[in-house]
Structure 1
Amino acid sequence: MIEKLTKSVGCGLAIGALLISTLQAKSEEKTPPTYVNVGEVKEITVPETITAVGHLYAINQVNLSFNNSGKLEHKYFKNGDRVLAGESVASLDDTQDMANLKSLQAQLNLAKQTYQRVQLLKKSGAISQEDIDQKFADLQQAKANVEQQQNVVQQDTLKAPLTGVLGIYQFDVGAYIPSGTAVVQLTQENPLKIRFAIPSDFKPKVAIGNEVSLTTNTYKDKTFTGKVNYISPTVNTDSGTIQIEAEVANDDYLLSPGMFMSVSQILKEDKKILVIPDMAVQVEQQGSFVYALEGGDTVKKVPIETGIIRSGWTQVESGLKKGQKIVTIGGNKLFDGAKVSISDIPPPNFEALSKKIKINMNTDKSGMSTPSK
C-alpha cells in the first residue's frame, strides 16, 4: 500500500515538474527578444590636455604723475578712454615755466653774439685766449640752461608711456598737484598675461612657447589663445603644483585684467582613447555600466570607468576593449542575460566624430578634462 502511494506521489511530482517546464517554455516563447541598436567600442586619437583655472593680469600698469608741481590746466581724455603711447594725458599751467624759458633763450642769444664778437677780436689779437675761453664757457652754460628749462616745460605735460586704458583721474582742472602724486592709472590691455597652476608631475610635458586655450563664461562661444612664457622653477610645497604664466592676445579688447579664465593646455597631440556613444552609458548607484553582447543575442551587464565626456560620446577608461559590441539604443529595457534582437538602425559614425573632435578639442569648454596620469 505504502509502495503504491510512493510511486503515485513520485509520478505526480514528475508530471508537475514537466508541466512547470512546459509553462516556462511557453512563457519564454511568448516574450520576444528586445530590439536594440548595437555599436562598437572605437579607438580615436585626441590631444591630451590638462586644465586649470587662472586669472588675467596686465603686463604693464602704471600710475602717471608729474615731476613738477603746479595747477592742473588740461585733461585731454575722459575716465576709461584708451590712449596711444606718446599721447598727452594732462598738463599743468606752464605760464611761469615758459617765461623762464624765454628769459634763458634771450641769455643764450646774447651769449652767442658775444662769442661771435670775441672770435673776430681773436684775429686782431685784441683779446686774450683766457677771455675767449670764458665767453665759450658762458655760451655752453647758456645752452645747458635752456635745455634744462625746456625739459621742465616738457614735464608740465603728462604723456602716456604705453598704449592702454586710463583709470579715473584723481584731480579736477584747477587743482594743485604736488610733484610725484598719482594723477591717473594707465593699464595696458593688449597683450595680457594669465597665471595658473598645474600638478608638478606634468612639468616635463610643458615648455616655453606651448599654446594654451582660454574660455570664460562671459563669452561662452569664444576661445582665446595664449603662449606659455614662464614656468616656475620651484614647486609649491603646500599644493604640489607649479605656476605657469602665458601671454594672451587681446586685440579686440574683450578681456580685462582680473577676469577668471579656464585654461586648457595640450600636452600630447596623439593620445589614443576608447570611446562609445554616450547613449550607451547607464548609471546606477554603484556607478556606470553598459550592456555588452555575448553569443550574438544575449547581453551582459558590464561596469565601466568613464573619462572625458563630450556631446555625443564618452571615453571608456576601463571595462571594455576595442571592437567590443555594446548596446547603444534600447538598453533601458534590458537586464543581465536578456535576449536581444539587433535593429538595422545604423550606429553613430565615429570616423566623422573623430575628425570633428580633432578640430574642436580646444574650443569647447565642456570637453576639457584632466587626463589620468
Structure 2
Amino acid sequence: MTQRITRYGLPAVVLLVALAAFAAGRRSARNAVLPPVTATAAHAEADHAHEGEACTEGDGCAEEGAAHADGDAHAHAEGDAHAHADGDAHAHADGVVHLNAAQMQASAIETGVVALAPVAASLALNGEVQADGDRTARVGSPVAGRLVALKARVGDRVRRGQVLAVVSSRDVAETQAALARARAEEQAARARLQNVRALAATGALTRRPLEEAQNAHTAALADVKRAEAALARAQSARDLAQADLARTRKLAAAGAFSARPVEEARGEVAEAQAELETAQAAVKARQAAFDRSQRLFSAGVAARREVESAEAELAQAKAQEREARTHLTVARQALAREEEVARQNLHTTGEVQAAEAALRQAEKEVEDRQAEVTRARGHLQVAAAVLARERKVAGQSLLARKEVQEAEAALARARADVQAAQNALQAIRAAGSARGAGAASIPVTSPINGIVTERTATLGQAIEASTDLFTVVGNESVWVWASVYEKDLPHVRPGQPARVSCPVHPGHEWNGQVGYVGVISDEKTRSTRVRIDLPNPNGVLRPGMFVSVALQLREKRQALAVPVTAVQQMGEEYVVFVAGHDGEFTRRPVRVGARTGTLVEVLGGVRQGERVATRNAFLLKSELMKDQLSEGCAH
C-alpha cells in the first residue's frame, strides 16, 4: 500500500480519502440524493434524448457508461454538499428509486403506459443516392441541322417545355412546304365541291353526261356508216378486180394488154378519191366534237379526260385523211405510169398474174372492212346502251349526287393530307421558317422538370437527329441503391416500405419503397443490389450522397411497445423503470425487438398496462449507477 501511495503521489491519497468518506456516508444513509433539475440536468437530458434509439432486434445500444461514470463522479464530488437539500432520493440494491413530489416536479420525469402498438421488423442497409433513371432525359434535336442558339447552361434549373437550344433545319422547311401544298390542294378541293354543288343545283351535271352519251352514240353511228361505206367500196373493188381479171385473161388470150393497166389505174384513182372524201368528212365531224369538248371543259362542265379523248379521235381522223390523200397520190402516179406503159406497148402476159394478185388483195380488203363494220356496230350497241342509261340517270338526278360525293371525298382526302403535314410539324416541334435560305428554326425543349447536368452542344455545331445535346436530371425523386446479403434477400420484395435517413441532414427521414430487386448476385460480396424509389420534393438528397436505409421486413403487427426514450442500457442488458406508488421506480430488465419510428417493441420483462418512465429516464439510471459506484468504492 505504501508503494502504491508513493507511486501515485499525494493527489491519489486525497482522492482515496474522499471516496472512503463518501462511501461511509452512503452506507449510513443508504440513500441517494437526486439533484434538482438545473441547466446541467437539462444538458444531460439533451445528451440522453436519443439513448436507446439503436435498440433494435439483434443490434446493440451504444454504452455511455464512461460518460455517466464521469458525470456521477462529479455528482458524488458535489453530492455531499447537497445531500439532503431537497429531500432524500433512496436507491436500493434491488433497483428501486424513490422520489418525493418535489423531485418528481424538478426532474420532469414523465411516464407512459405499456400498450399494444403497430410494429414491424426492419433491415438496416447502407445505400447511395443516384439520379432517378426514369426522370433523366438526354435531349437532342428531332431533326438534323445546325445549332443557331443555346438557351441553357450546366446547373440551370429548367421546366418541361423550356427551350434549351434552337436548330436551323431544311427538313422542317420541306415539311412546311408539304403543308403549304396540302393546304392549297384543300382549297382547290373545297372550291371544286362548291362548284359541283352549284352545278348540281342548276341541273348542269345531269345534262352533261347525257350530252356526252348522245355525242358518243352519234359518233358510233357515224363509224358504222363509214365502215359500211368502206365495205361497199371494198366489195366494189373486189368486183372490179374480178372483172378486171376476166378481161385480162381475155386480153391475154387475144394478146391485147395495153388498155387494161390503164383502166385499173383509173379505178384506183377513183377509189382513192372516194376514200379521201370519206376521211375529210370524218375529220370535220371529229373537229366539231373536239371544239365542243373544249368549250365544256372551259366552262367547268367537262372533264379533262373527255377533251383528251376527243383530241385523240380527231388525231386519228386526220391520220386517216393523210393516208387517203397519200393513197390518191400513189394511185394517180400509177395511172400516169400505166398510161405511159400503154403508149409504149410494154405489157406482157404477166398482167394476168397481177390481176389475180389484185383480186386476192381486194378480197382481203373486203374481209377487213367486214370486220370493221362488225366492230363499229358493236360500239354502236354499247353507245346506245350508255345513252339509255344516262337518260334514266338524268331522270333520277343520280349523277349529281355521285359528283357531289366524289367532290366531298376529294376534300376529305385533302384535309387528311393537311392534318398529316401538321402532325409532322408538331412531331418535330417546328417554331418557324428562316426566310431566304429555305431552312426552318425549331426549338429543342426539355421533356421534364429538372437541372441541366451536362451540355455537349456548341454554337454553330452541325448535328444529326441522334446527337445528344443536353442531359436533364429531375430531382423530384431519386433512386437509392443498396446491397442486401444473400441471407436477407428472401425477405426483400418490390413494393416493400423503406425509411431513409442521411447523416448530412440529421433528424430527417424519407419514406419510399423497394422498386427493384436485382437478379444478379455479386460473387465477391455475396450481395444483391436493391433499388429504393424515393420522393425528393425539395431536392435535398443529391446523387452521390450516402444514406442509411431501413427496410420493413414484414407487415406491421400489434405488439407491446414503449417509446425508445424509455429503454436504457445498463451493462449488458436493456432496462426500463416501472412506476410504482408515491414516486417509486423499479428497474426492470427487458428484451427489445423491432423499432418503428419512436417506438420499440418489448418482447418480455413488462406487462401491458404497466407504467414506465418515458422522459428523463436516464436520470433514474444515473441515480442507480451512482449508488453502485459508491458501493464499489466502499469495498
Match of 1:69 among 144, 147, 155: 144
Match of 2:501 among 215, 219, 223: 215
3-state SS of paired residue (2:540): coil
Aligned to 2:135: 60
Partners of 1:63 and 1:213 lie apart in 2 by: 30
Q: Which moved more, 1:273-282 or 1:184-193?
A: 273-282
Tell me: CA distance 1:244–1:43, structure 2 relative to 1, closer, same or farther (3 Å): farther
Q: CA deviation at 1:171?
A: 2.7
3-state SS of paired residue (2:455): coil
Tell me: CA distance 1:191–1:106, structure 2 relative to 1, closer, same or farther (3 Å): closer
Structure 1 runs not aligned, ≥5 long: 1-27, 291-302, 341-373
Q: CA deviation at 1:249?
A: 1.0
After superposition, residues 268-307 of structure 1 pair within 5 angstroms as 268-270=556-558, 281-282=570-571
Match of 2:628 among 303, 320, 334: 334
Aligned to 2:331: none
Partners of 2:418 and 2:568 lie apart in 1 by: 85
Q: CA deviation at 1:74?
A: 2.7
Determine if contact 2:183/2:418 at 8 Å carries over to the other structure.
Answer: no
Tell me: CA distance 1:251–1:149, structure 2 relative to 1, closer, same or farther (3 Å): closer
After superposition, residues 189-268 of structure 1 pair within 5 angstroms as 189-203=475-489, 205-232=491-518, 238-267=524-553, 268=556
Partners of 2:161 and 2:114 lie apart in 1 by: 57
Partners of 1:90 and 1:29 lie apart in 2 by: 85
Determine if contact 2:590/2:606 at 8 Å carries over to the other structure.
Answer: no
3-state SS of paired residue (1:157): strand
3-state SS of paired residue (1:257): coil
Residue 227 of structure 1 aligns with an amino acid whose one-letter code is Q
Q: CA deviation at 1:108?
A: 3.5
3-state SS of paired residue (1:167): strand
- The answer on 1:79 being equivalent to 2:154 is yes
Partners of 2:178 and 2:184 lie apart in 1 by: 10
Residue 75 of structure 1 aligns with an amino acid whose one-letter code is L
After superposition, residues 354-365 of structure 1 pair within 5 angstroms as none
Residue 54 of structure 1 aligns with an amino acid whose one-letter code is G
Tell me: CA distance 1:30–1:227, structure 2 relative to 1, closer, same or farther (3 Å): closer
3-state SS of paired residue (1:334): helix
3-state SS of paired residue (1:124): coil
Determine if contact 1:105/1:146 at 8 Å carries over to the other structure.
Answer: yes
Q: CA deviation at 1:184?
A: 0.9
Aligned to 1:89: 164
Deviations 1:182-233 (A, max 9, x none): 2110112222222223344445544443321111122112111112233346
Residue 472 of structure 2 aligns with an amino acid whose one-letter code is L
Aligned to 2:459: 173
Q: CA deviation at 1:111?
A: 3.7
Q: CA deviation at 1:174?
A: 3.4
Aligned to 2:394: none
- The answer on 1:49 being equivalent to 2:49 is no
Partners of 1:75 and 1:307 lie apart in 2 by: 58
Residue 253 of structure 1 aligns with an amino acid whose one-letter code is G
Match of 1:126 among 303, 319, 324: 303
Aligned to 1:185: 471
Q: CA deviation at 1:273?
A: 7.6
Identity %: 15
Partners of 2:518 and 2:140 lie apart in 1 by: 34
Tell me: CA distance 1:111–1:170, structure 2 relative to 1, closer, same or farther (3 Å): same
Determine if contact 1:34/1:339 at 8 Å carries over to the other structure.
Answer: no
Q: CA deviation at 1:165?
A: 1.9
Q: CA deviation at 1:177?
A: 3.2
Tell me: CA distance 1:228–1:146, structure 2 relative to 1, closer, same or farther (3 Å): closer
Tell me: CA distance 1:125–1:245, structure 2 relative to 1, closer, same or farther (3 Å): same
Aligned to 1:349: none
Determine if contact 2:136/2:474 at 8 Å carries over to the other structure.
Answer: yes
Match of 1:160 among 446, 453, 467: 446
Determine if contact 2:141/2:467 at 8 Å carries over to the other structure.
Answer: yes
C-alpha RMSD over aligned residues: 5.3
Determine if contact 1:165/1:188 at 8 Å carries over to the other structure.
Answer: yes
Tell me: CA distance 1:73–1:31, structure 2 relative to 1, closer, same or farther (3 Å): same
Q: CA deviation at 1:237?
A: 5.4
Q: CA deviation at 1:313?
A: 12
Structure with higher strand content: 1
Tell me: CA distance 1:127–1:29, structure 2 relative to 1, closer, same or farther (3 Å): closer
Determine if contact 1:277/1:313 at 8 Å carries over to the other structure.
Answer: no
Partners of 2:174 and 2:424 lie apart in 1 by: 7
Partners of 1:98 and 1:181 lie apart in 2 by: 17
Tell me: CA distance 1:141–1:339, structure 2 relative to 1, closer, same or farther (3 Å): closer
Partners of 1:178 and 1:148 lie apart in 2 by: 21
Q: CA deviation at 1:255?
A: 1.7
3-state SS of paired residue (1:331): helix
Aligned to 2:321: none
Residue 331 of structure 1 aligns with an amino acid whose one-letter code is M
3-state SS of paired residue (1:85): coil
Q: CA deviation at 1:271?
A: 5.5
Q: CA deviation at 1:52?
A: 0.6
Q: Highest CA radius of gyration, 1 or 2?
A: 2
3-state SS of paired residue (2:447): coil
3-state SS of paired residue (1:221): strand
Structure with higher helix content: 2
Q: CA deviation at 1:78?
A: 3.8
* Greater RCO (Cα-Cα under 8 Å, separation 6 or more): 2
Determine if contact 1:82/1:165 at 8 Å carries over to the other structure.
Answer: yes
3-state SS of paired residue (2:456): coil
Residue 165 of structure 1 aligns with an amino acid whose one-letter code is I
Determine if contact 2:478/2:533 at 8 Å carries over to the other structure.
Answer: yes
Tell me: CA distance 1:230–1:171, structure 2 relative to 1, closer, same or farther (3 Å): closer
Tell me: CA distance 1:198–1:271, structure 2 relative to 1, closer, same or farther (3 Å): farther
Q: CA deviation at 1:104?
A: 3.9
